[in-house]
Amino acid sequence: MAKREFDVIGSTVTRKDAPKKVKGEHEFADDLQFPMMLHGRIKRSDIAHSRILSIDTSKAQALPGVKAVLIGSETPIKYGIVPQMPTEYAIAHEKVRFHGEPVAAVAAVDPETAERALDLIEVVYEPLPVYTTPEEAMAEGAVKIHEDNKFPGNIAYEADQDFGDVEKAFADSHYVLEKTFKTSYVNHAFMEPHCAVSKFDTNGELFIWSTTQVPHYLHRHLSKVLQMEMDRIHVKVTGVGGAFGGKGEVSNNELISALLARKAGRPVKVLYSRREVFLQHRGRHPIQMRVKVGVDKEGMITAIDYDGTMDGGSYGGWGLVILFYTAAMLHLPYDVKNVRFRARRIFTNKPTCGAMRGLGGVQPRFALESLLDQIAIDLGMNPYDLKKKNAIGLKHETVSGQVVRHCEFRKCLDQATELSGYREKHGKLPFGKGIGLAGGYYISGTAYTLYMAYKPHSSALIRVDTEGGVTVYCGATDIGQGSDTVLGMMAAEKFGLPFETIHVVSGDTSLAPFDLGSFASRVTVAAGSAVCKAADNIIDKLLPVAAVQLGVRAEQLEAKRGMIRSVFEPGKEIAFWDVVSKYIDAHGPLTATGDYTPPRRTGKFKGANIGHSPTYGFSAQVTEVDVDLETGEVRVLRVTEAGDCGQPINPVSVEGQVEGSIMMGLGQALYEEVKVGRDGRLMNPSLHDYKIPTMADLPELNTTFVESYDPDSPYGAKEAGEGPIQPVIPAIFNAVYDAIGVRFTEMPITPERVLRALDEKKRQEGGTC
């Protein structure tokens, strides 16, 4: 039985980075300056799909102040975050596949000179047809965007999974509802643009400072693209000004800064403009989904059938993984026995889609939670009742073999609906006002690495030293979410020391032991487990030393409140640091490691490795909206969230994750969409034209947690950073339906769409009178 009385876990500590951040002292990559540092700029194509016939860089090279010019033929090695399917180049090689793709790069003494040099580079293109939608790219006779692609019709990959007997289940159903949904092309819009600084030392070793979620994958990619041994490359993560998945794979500027630095023999910084952030993209996949759900008389789900076409953009990125995640995320948090999944990811001539907060889950949740809402209404049930009936229990194994070891989703549904008064309000508010409910869940890490290695996914080293204090070394990456704080809190709790005294060294491939990175909501469980194990190993070394001093058995000792003390004999205690000192006198340095490998599960079908997670977080949200019938504007008034994230380690940080998720989801539901012209050009690559929520859009957010503790997780914790975005969009759509009786199936719900729908509704109702 896990102990539940904590001194540090669950308390509100001051993040150590916060005082530095409010003073502007926290260092981001663009804050770095080195003597003789050059500025790299990237020439980008002004055509979306073409062969590159020639590039003439001679004039650029001749410009005073230019120290290196680089083109694709100098870096012809393909890479990809999914190493089995490399599709990308640091700089376009032989072909460009989207408008704004890098075709050359320049390093110069200042940004202005570099930019002037870009204008002097002449590229001759041979244009090819441009496909900005999957329909066009899949059409008969379409040119292949990737010539070596083994699938026809620009299909990057496809997947089909069948569980149970879907046809029979539909035939036996009491009610079946089918709709087609369309999700939008959205960008992470983190505040800090990508930036990397590369520097080679005299021994030819590379040091790179970058704003990345995945220093390990950057390390691997640099080794491949630069053809260097990994031990000669040192990746250092700077402050990360938001990422949300968008810095979760290698970005061209990182590779280009290293290549330019090598060529110029001087440090090179490559900072993106905001437009370039939109071109690097890796945002959420637009998906067109036809989804069908059957239920029996009681409203129990009998079957789900899904057919989806994902617009992948020009390169592979995380696409393959996301495709199979979408399959895995289709029906949880509900118990469904018959499931069919058909999907494909299509290459188009647009910036590449990839991992964005809650990947794999957000689009199917939108469809499923909308359909379940409508089915309940059509059957005359309250949507809460239908969802509660179908919700999985404390433990569950899905038809696809995913094991949920701990789930409090039912509590989430109860708490969110009770706190918001959902049951009393739903269907009873005046026209124009509405309330909607949706549920969601997310993985807390993955079961496999992308390149199928057996090594642990996370590792930690703890050094306890009479001079240096306690230092936790772990390759996890704090991307602003506060993971260093969480890891430090866990170590503090283990050692019975104040949080403020724990140092955490993270995000550095040379200093800190291996960790896969910050993605898939994995850090708290995976890196947390590694840190806890390392701390336990330290304590195992200390207790026998303390036992000798105290004249008791080591097994009865615990580390608590600065002491190592007997749990049975009050007063038998010795200061933690005295024991450390005695240990070091007798044995030398006090260090220990810990590691974490998630349980490996699989099945016997394609994609069976993807979707498994050691544990899952859940949430339910109720959203209240006001639709302005004159202007068509939808205003979100209030969101009530009840989350099962296990034991919150740092509750204020968890609330921050939830609140950030809600506002990000709200943006996608109501405002955000990257617009692409017929020629593949982005129409709104700025924060002026691409509207993300501002403070003026902030509704009342009521963030709560349900009582939850996963006994197999470090301090009972589960993920919290990506689960809470899952219900946001469908809860808003369901609330809009409740408000005006219009079932939107396409996002965002813009005022124009609302007015058009209201007009249409009026016409139809007029027609029936």
Distance CA 254, CA 212 (A): 9
Of the two residues 190 and 671, which places its CB atom closer to ligand FES in the complex? 190
Residue 683 in the binding site for ligand FES (CB under 6 A):
no
Binder of residue 188, out of ligand FES, another protein, none (CB less than 5 to 8 A by kind): another protein
Report helix, strand and coil shares of the chain as percent, to nearest 5.
30, 25, 45
Check residue 635 for interaction with another protein (CB under 8 A): no
Closest by alpha carbon to 365, among 606, 619, 612, 172? 619
CB of 464 to ligand FES, least distance (A): 33
The window from 130-138, 383-391, 518-526, 698-706 that contacts another protein (CB under 8 A) reads: 698-706
Please say which residue, 199 or 457, places its beta carbon nearer to another protein. Answer: 199
Q: Is 18 in the site for ligand FES (CB under 6 A)?
A: no
Which of ligand FES, another protein, none does residue 655 bind (CB under 5 to 8 Å by kind)?
Answer: another protein
**Cis preceding linkage at 86, omega within 30:** no
Calpha distance 312→284 (Å, rounded): 9
Show the binding pattern over residues 181-210: x = contacts another protein (CB under 8 A), - = does not. -------xxxxxx-----------------
| Sole binder of another protein in the list 9, 30, 198, 215 (CB under 8 A) | 30
Give the nearer residue to another protein in terms of CB position, either 241 or 361.
241
Please answer whether residues 69 and 82 qualify as being in contact, where contact means their C-beta atoms are separated by less than 8 angstroms.
no
Q: Does 28 bind another protein (CB under 8 A)?
A: yes
Binding mask 125-164 for ligand FES (x = CB under 6 A): ----------------------------------------
Structure tokens at 727: 């219900």
CB 443 to ligand FES: min, Å: 24
Q: Quick one: angle between helices 362-378 and 728-740, nearest 10?
A: 30
Q: Which is nearer to ligand FES, 111 or 242 (CB)?
A: 242
Backbone angle region of 623, left / alpha / beta, with phi > 0 → left and psi within -120 to 50 → alpha: beta
**In terms of CB distance, is 273 or 581 closer to ligand FES?**
273
CA dihedral (600, 479, 643, 392) in degrees, to 10, reads -20
Say whether residue 656 binds ligand FES (CB under 6 A).
no
Smallest separation (angstroms) from another protein to the CB of 636: 12
Query: Is residue 290 packed enough to be buried (19+ CB in 10 Å), middle (13-18) or exposed (0-12)?
Result: middle
Residues in Cβ contact with 632 at an 8 Å cutoff, skipping those fewer than 6 apart: 750, 751, 752, 753, 754, 755, 758
Lookup: tokens for 469: 């204090």
- Considering the complex, state which of residue 240 and residue 634 has its C-beta at the smaller distance from ligand FES: 240
Nearer to another protein, 38 or 386 (CB): 38
CB 617 within 8 A of CB 442: yes
Query: Using CB distances below 5 to 8 A depending on partner kind, what does residue 171 bind out of ligand FES, another protein, none?
Result: none
- Single out the residue of 1, 33, 141, 767 in contact with another protein (rule: CB under 8 A): 33
Kindly tell me which of 59 and 275 has the beta carbon lying closer to ligand FES.
275
Which conformational region is residue 569 in: left (phi greater than 0), alpha (psi within -120 to 50 degrees), or beta?
A: beta
Number of H helices, E strands in the chain: 19, 28
Give the residue, chosen from 1, 3, 5, 12, that forms a contact with another protein under the rule CB under 8 A: 12
User: What is the nearest approach in angstroms of ligand FES to the Cβ of residue 34?
Assistant: 23
Chain-centroid distance, C-alpha 527: 16
Position among 120, 258, 450, 692 found at the interface with another protein (CB under 8 A): 692
Q: Can you tell me whether residue 240 is helix, strand or coil?
A: coil
267 binds another protein (CB under 8 A): no
453-482: which residues touch ligand FES (CB under 6 A)?
480
241 in contact with another protein (CB under 8 A): yes
**Edge-to-edge order in the sheet of strand 469-474:** 502-506, 469-474, 458-465, 590-596
Burial class of 144 by CB neighbour count within 10 A (0 to 12, 13 to 18, 19+): middle
CA–CA–CA angle 507, 536, 11 (5° rounding): 70
- Nearest Cα to Cα of residue 330 among 301, 296, 367, 385: 367
Binding pattern for the stretch 643-672 against another protein, x by CB under 8 A and - elsewhere: ---------xx-xx-xxxxxxx--------
Q: How many CB atoms lie within 10 A of CB 143?
A: 12
Could you say which residues in the range 417-476 bind another protein, by CB under 8 A? none
Q: 532 contacts which partner out of ligand FES, another protein, none, CB within 5 to 8 A by kind?
A: none
Cis preceding linkage at 589, omega within 30: no
Of 65, 164, 242, 544, the one binding ligand FES by CB under 6 A: 242
Take residue 751 and report the two structure tokens written for it. 């005022």
When CB distances are held under 5 to 8 angstroms depending on the partner's kind, the choice from another protein, ligand FES, none that residue 33 binds is another protein
Torsions phi, psi of 230, nearest 5? -65, -30
For residues 529 and 487, what is the distance between their CA atoms, to the nearest angstrom? 9
Count residues contacting another protein (CB under 8 A)?
58
490 binds, among ligand FES, another protein, none (CB under 5 to 8 A by kind): none
CA distance 653 to 130: 44
Shortest distance, position 480 Cβ to ligand FES, whole Å: 5
Please tell me whether residue 504 binds another protein under the rule CB under 8 A: no
Q: Which of residues 185-224 bind ligand FES (CB under 6 A)?
A: 191
Q: Which stretch binds another protein (CB under 8 A): 215-223, 318-326, 521-529, 680-688?
A: 680-688
Q: Which of 11, 61, 149, 273 contacts another protein by CB under 8 A?
A: 273
Q: Which positions lie near another protein, rule CB under 8 A? A: 12, 14-15, 17-28, 30-31, 33, 188-193, 239-244, 273-274, 479-482, 652-653, 655-656, 658-664, 686-688, 692-696, 698, 701, 703
Q: Which positions lie near ligand FES, rule CB under 6 A? A: 191, 242, 480
